[in-house]
A and B are shown apart, each in its own frame.
Chain A
Amino acid sequence: QKEVEQNSGPLSVPEGAIASLNCTYSDRGSQSFFWYRQYSGKSPELIMFIYSNGDKEDGRFTAQLNKASQYVSLLIRDSQPSDSATYLCAVPRAGEKLTFGTGTRLTIIP
């Protein structure tokens, strides 16, 4: 089992709808979780992070943690074409080094 797994997609969502991205992790002791957005040919950009103590909302983005099932979700409300990108989930391993999933490619259809 990979340490961090994501469905590679592509995931197509109509403009204005909710995009839901999921990530499963193998280390039950993980305490923090990061979501990065990566446009084609660009570097990862941090858009959201949560700790094991609860969910978090920031504008159109919500990150949710399900510790029992060991997955984290990123919800994007009112999806815009500019949200089209690859979304990377990352979990720290041994405290510092991030382990990334392969990313989910999201396409928002106008």
Chain B
Amino acid sequence: GAGVSQTPSNKVTEKGKYVELRCDPISGHTALYWYRQSLGQGPEFLIYFQGTGAADDSGLPNDRFFAVRPEGSVSTLKIQRTERGDSAVYLCASSSDRGKPQHFGDGTRLSIL
């Protein structure tokens, strides 16, 4: 079936604005992950969902970041009062179950001006 889908592919906004990034996992995948990747670095973990609940949100950098997955499928990463340091590629991944290989979407490139 289709892979992990992320929208938008690019987002440019001004400092202080609110943004939402969407992730549609592979059909049937119960586990969903958000990562953030800066230039020249590997992806860094943000949050992991198993079903509807956030099983581990230890990677969220501060309380401006929040993510939901209300029906256990699509997830939205929300960033309030954006800062220039939030600029990065935000990657979503899903897996068929916990511990199984994770497959990534194409990412959202977020630029904060």
Chain A contact residues, CB within 8 Å of chain B: 4, 32, 34, 36, 42-46, 49, 88, 90, 92-103
Residue ID in chain B nearest A6 by CB atoms: B42
The answer to whether A101 and B104 touch (CB under 8 A), given A43-B91, A94-B56, A96-B48, is no
Residue ID in chain B nearest A93 by CB atoms: B45
Most buried by B among A43, A46, A97: A43
Interface status of B44 (Cβ within 8 A of chain A): yes
Residue ID in chain A nearest B46 by CB atoms: A97
B107/A43 in contact, CB under 8 A: yes
Residues from chain B with a CB closer than 8 A to the CB of A45 are 104
Not counting A43-B105, A46-B104, A98-B43, a sample of 6 additional A-B residue pairs whose C-beta atoms are within 8 angstroms of each other reads A4-B42, A43-B89, A43-B107, A49-B101, A96-B31, A97-B45
Cβ-neighbour of A100 out of B42, B99, B105 (below 8 A): B42
Residues from chain B with a CB closer than 8 A to the CB of A32 are 99
B48/A97 in contact, CB under 8 A: yes
Q: In the complex, A45→B105 CA distance in Å?
A: 9
B42/A102 in contact, CB under 8 A: yes
Interface status of B40 (Cβ within 8 A of chain A): yes
A102/B41 in contact, CB under 8 A: yes
Interface status of B106 (Cβ within 8 A of chain A): yes
